[in-house]
Amino acid sequence: MAKITFITQSQEEITLDDNSGSVMELATFHDVQGIEGNCGGVCSCATCHVHVAPEDFDKVGKPDDMETDILEFEDNATEFSRLSCQIEITEELDGIRLFVANE
């Protein structure tokens, strides 16, 4: 089981837990504001963009080439950006904090 905390653009903190699936699926199931998952998780819409807390980035890991290509079109992308549909929930993610990038 991994506890994952989302911080929305309105500074709301929401901690959820799960043990499988993607982080985007977890967020959309619980209606986390700003994570929409419009493409269904196939890495083509970026409506699931998050900024990983810098101290947690090693746990989450870097985006692959396809994800990097999508993130390049995002104005507010940073070195800590990830598309949450591409992050699989594992126990290693326990305690991470993700800042929702979209309004």
**CB 1, min distance to ligand FES, A:** 23
Residue for token digits 């993610």? 93
Nearest in space to 1 (alpha carbons), one of 96, 89, 97: 89
Footprint of ligand FES on 25-64 (CB under 6 A): 37-39, 41, 43-48
What ranges make up the beta strands (E) of 1-103?
2-7, 13-18, 49-52, 81-83, 96-100
Say whether residue 96 binds ligand FES (CB under 6 A).
Answer: no
Whichever of 21 and 55 has its CB closer to ligand FES, that residue is 21
Q: Which two tokens stand for residue 65?
A: 């080439």
Is 24 among the residues that bind ligand FES (CB under 6 A)?
Answer: yes
User: Which residues contact ligand FES (rule: CB under 6 A)?
Assistant: 24, 37-39, 41, 43-48, 83, 85
